[in-house]
Amino acid sequence: MKIKNELLQACYNYANKRIANYKAEIETIKESIESNDKGGDEDDDSGNGKLFNDLEKNSQHLSEANKMLDGLKNINANTVSEKVIAGSVVKTTSNNFFISISAGKIDLEDSSFFAISHLSPIGMLLLGKGKGDTIEFNGNTFTITEVI
């Protein structure tokens, strides 16, 4: 269970860092809009238009990052299942996966894990599978050697 807790914490750190970055970017954009409004030429809206677009994009990214965080809250690192579920650590003949959020590669001690969403293409292939099952992804065949 230690490995699950460490992977879950790494995913929390990833999501929280994204949230903090988007919030900071949104504040910077808001400040730029305000300073443009105070001292700008009324005929020049092109700068604010781009800023409003950036604000909207960052707000959408912030919403997605908050959804990631909410998804992590549904994972119990102490849950044990023989079949792959959200929160499972899946070791295969090729790669190791943590079914959680799409957070990329996480290195722990002497192993690497890919934090993937259960909604990702490979995540959907792994769900419900158990030790000894095989999946094919992008022309590669993986055999599950362990589900934690």
Query: Distances in Å between the alpha carbon of 53 and those of 23, 57, 127?
Result: 15, 6, 37
Global pTM reads 0.89
Helix (H) or strand (E) holding 135: strand 134-137
pLDDT (tens place) for every residue of the chain, 148 residues total: 799 999 999 999 999 999 999 999 999 999 999 988 776 555 455 678 899 999 999 999 999 999 999 999 999 999 999 999 999 999 999 999 999 999 999 999 889 999 999 999 999 999 999 999 999 999 999 999 999 9
The number of residues making up the chain comes to 148
Residues 6+ apart with CB under 8 A from 142: 92, 93, 94, 95, 134, 135, 136
Secondary structure, 3-state, 55-82: HHHHHHHHHHHHHHHHHHHCCCCCCCCC
- What are the sequence ranges of the domains in the chain? 2-73, 89-147
